Amino acid sequence: MQQHSKSMEEFLAMNEKKDLLRFSTAGSIDDGKSTLIGRLLHDSKSVYEDQISSVRKASREKESDEQIDFALLTDGLKAEREQMITIDVAYRYFSTPRRKFIIADTPGHEQYTRNMATGASTANLAVVLVDAKGGIKPQTKRHAFISSLLGVPHIVLAVNKMDLVGYDQSVFEAIKSEFSYFAGRLGVQDVRFIPISALKGDNVVTRSARMPWYTGETLLELLETVYIGSDFNLVDMRFPVQYVLRPNQQFRGYAGQVASGIIRKGDEVLVLPSMKTSRVKSIVGFDGELEEAFPPMSTAVTLEDEIDVSRGDMLVHRHNQPKTHRRFEAMMVWMSESPLDHGKSYFFKHTTKVARFRFDEVRYRVDVNTLNRMPGGTMGLNEIGRVVCTSTTPIFCDPYSRNRATGSFVVIDPISNNTVGAGMIIEREPSDELPNRIETVVSEKDGLHLRRSLVAPSDRAARWGQKPVTVWFTGLVGAGKTRIAYGVERRLFEKGAVCLVLDGENMRLGLSRELGFTAEGRAEHLRRVAETARLANEAGMIVLCAFVSPEAALRAQVAEIVGGDRFLECHVSAPIEWCEARDESGLYSKARSGEISHFAGVNFPYEAPVDPDVVLRTVSTDSEECVSLVLDLLRDRGFFPCAG
């Protein structure tokens, strides 16, 4: 082997250190998606010369233009080349010195919702394309909805064909604001906007001189730098056993891929469903033993004790177990020509387990263009709905929003063997089974009866020109909840509304002053907040509550106390790094040093709302704009008439 220059060795070393970003692309037929991908591949120099010349050959038959038709680089199958449409998910690859990229290129055609779901299922990020000239179409919203349904953490709206609108900033801003509102309703955590022209190359790989008003990143810069380190769940250890390795009588290894969390040598583990416990003796592989394994590693573990473990079982930590359910609810994408059949027994595959199950009920279907709910019944091809299922054996699952690996399943038709549905498990249980419970000390059956007020709600609404509602701002410390809540109060007051702000400070200093931060203390604190809000609502006021409230289960119970029809959940969302950086209270450093416990995001999990009424992204949206979004929400839901 010959000597290589230092730079070559450095290059190889750097190349081995690259990480991986999987993203999906979706767009309507004329949004220029294939052109965009062709442009990314071409400008990042991932397209080889002979592929370009074969495309030149193919485009010549179609048109005389010598310009390369980038779309032909990506449209693979003969059939679709003839029909001029992309008909199936296609995977493309390219890399830059920083990252390797896998693109799931999904067709935008109406009947191919299933392909879009397929592409989104493994994506860290979704690029949704919109034609600047045509503006946001129903399909754009559908793409964003499916991406959010499949739990894609980052969405980029690429406003394409800016060249056709004269690179006009106002066109971009109008599309941005319309989409922001919609994305807020979807509860997507991270949305970015980039004005581009795929055809001319503006802001795709290189910065455009024709849009000096845009100072953000190019699409490729964004793809290279978007932070994906927290996309894997490192908290809840789940190790589904895939295969038992038995080379001889002495060795029994359980092979599998770590679905989430960290498994360490010496850990006490619980085997589901047998509930037997043992310790991890070793984590073994071809390259030697490991001290620990984390997702998405494929590895094998041996246990101290000889206990019976087989494929389909799951190793977990005793203090952090998944739910064990035979009956569960899920969002379902139906992917078969034959509609969902209630009488039929289907197979499902969940982690490494295959079992029989049936559908008990379709609670509702979702109109993917308007997000409106439609009556259930059954589901047809490319429909999305919420279902209740019962399985013949218990499954060990987490909500999909928390754990993609243990929250997802596919449905298989027992006759055709086709994959006919994709399910995402939702956490929903009767509130008396919830682990963190708000205890109701006094209830009507103890002899206390609520007297009816002589003032009717409609009288109060007529007097004050508003309907009572509780807006619940949840989010990390430092995300900006309280600032926004008081901003909304000020704006509402100016427009003549009557309102009240409840926040951690004014409650903890008074009404809840004796309560601590234990699980019971937090539950009781929120119960008092909820009851206060309810009383103020009954007096006709609009109540703005700003509380970290990291536990989804407790928020659900607060909503129950206040009354679900007058409760709006508002997620004030910002990355923890950002919150921590602007924290002046010193709470984060105290939490980091362990001085404070139960601190959301540091030593206590923050469970983001699955389906909030609005998401306020304080990193990219200034607080005045956030306030306006809340006022718009109040107007749209009929609580207060003035727009923000």
Partner 1 sequence: MPADNRGHFNAMNEGSMMNRRTMTHLRQLEAESIFIMREVVAEFERPVMLYSVGKDSSVMVRLAQKAFHPQKLPFPLLHVDTGYKFKEMYEFRDNFVKEIGADLIVHKHADAGRVSPYEYGTQKCCAILKTQALLQALRNGNYDAAFGGARREEEKSRAKERVYSFRDEFGQWDPKNQRPELWSLYNARVNRNESIRVFPLSNWTELDVWQYIYMENIPVVPMYFARERDVIVRDGQIIPLDGPIPLRKGEKPERMLCRFRTLGCYPCTGAVCSPARSVADIIEEMMTIRVSERSTRVIDHDAEGSMETKKKEGYF
The answer to whether 334 and 431 are in contact (CB under 8 A) is no
Burial (CB count within 10 angstroms: exposed 0-12, middle 13-18, buried 19+), residue 558: buried
The token pair that represents 210 in the structure block: 């024709």
Q: Find residue 572's DSSP bridge partners.
A: 616
Q: Where are the alpha helices (DSSP H) in 187-269?
A: 219-225
If one asks whether residue 117 binds partner 1 (CB under 8 A), the answer comes out as yes
286 is a contact residue toward partner 1 (CB under 8 A):
yes
Of the pair 338, 352, the CB lying nearest partner 1 is at 352
**Residue (114 or 365) nearer to partner 1, CB:** 114
User: Please, which residues bridge with residue 21 across strands?
Assistant: 101
Per CB under 8 A, 62 contacts partner 1? no
Residues 265-284 that bind partner 1 (CB under 8 A): 284
| Nearest-approach distance from CB 258 to partner 1, in angstroms | 9
Using the rule CB under 8 A, is 20 a contact of partner 1?
Answer: yes
Q: Which of 85, 87, 434, 576 binds partner 1 (CB under 8 A)?
A: 87
Helix ranges (DSSP H) in 138-244? 138-149, 169-186, 219-225
| 317 counts as binding partner 1 under rule CB under 8 A | no
Residues in region 432-471 near partner 1 by CB under 8 A: none
Q: How far apart are CA 43 and CA 49, in angstroms?
A: 13
Q: 374 has which bridge partners?
A: 365
Per rule CB under 8 A, is residue 205 in the interface with partner 1?
A: no
Q: Is 576 in the site for partner 1 (CB under 8 A)?
A: no
Extract the tokens encoding 595.
Answer: 């001085």
Residue 246 touches partner 1, criterion: CB under 8 A: yes
Interface with partner 1 in residues 139-198 (CB under 8 A): none
**Nearest to partner 1 of 222, 290 (CB atom):** 290
Q: Is 474 in the site for partner 1 (CB under 8 A)?
A: no
**Residue 76 within binding range of partner 1, rule CB under 8 A:** yes
Reference 403, options 428, 380, 425; nearest CA is 425
Count residues contacting partner 1 (CB under 8 A)? Answer: 86
**What stretch of H or E contains 499?**
strand 499-503
Cβ contacts of 437 within 8 Å, gap of 6 or more: 431, 523, 557
Q: What would the x/- binding string for partner 1 be over residues 476 to 515, using CB under 8 A?
A: ----------------------------------------
Q: Which of 44, 96, 169, 242 is close enough to bind partner 1 by CB under 8 A?
A: 242
Give CA–CA dist 130/115, Å, rounded: 19
Closest CA to 164 of 119, 132, 129: 132
Given 134, 135, 285, 339, the residue binding partner 1 (CB under 8 A): 285
Q: Which residue carries 């263009």 as its tokens?
A: 369
Task: Verify binding: residue 287, partner 1, rule CB under 8 A.
Answer: yes
**122 sits near partner 1 (criterion: CB under 8 A):** yes
> Is there binding between residue 388 and partner 1 (CB under 8 A)?
no
Among 51, 321, 338, 628, binds partner 1 (CB under 8 A): 51
Quote the distance between the C-alpha of residue 209 and its chain's center.
34
Among positions 100, 207, 495, 590, the unique one binding partner 1 when judged by CB under 8 A: 100
Considering only residues 392 to 421 of the shown chain, the ones binding partner 1 according to CB under 8 A are 404-405, 408-410, 412, 417-419
Q: How far is the CB of 241 from partner 1 (least distance, A)?
A: 10
Min dist CB 400 to partner 1, Å, is: 10
Phi, psi of 435 (to 5 degrees): -65, -40
Structure tokens of 401?
Answer: 């929003």
Alpha carbon 49 to chain centroid, angstroms: 39
256, 322, 475, 609: which one binds partner 1 (CB under 8 A): 256
Amino acid at 422: A
| Distance from C-alpha of 382 to C-alpha of 41, rounded to nearest angstrom | 30
Is 289 near partner 1 (CB under 8 A)? Answer: no
Stretch that binds partner 1, among 16-24, 315-323, 472-480, 627-635 (CB under 8 A): 16-24
Which of 39, 92, 467, 527 lies at the binding interface for partner 1 (CB under 8 A)? Answer: 92
Residues ≥6 apart with Cβ < 8 Å to 109: 29, 85, 87
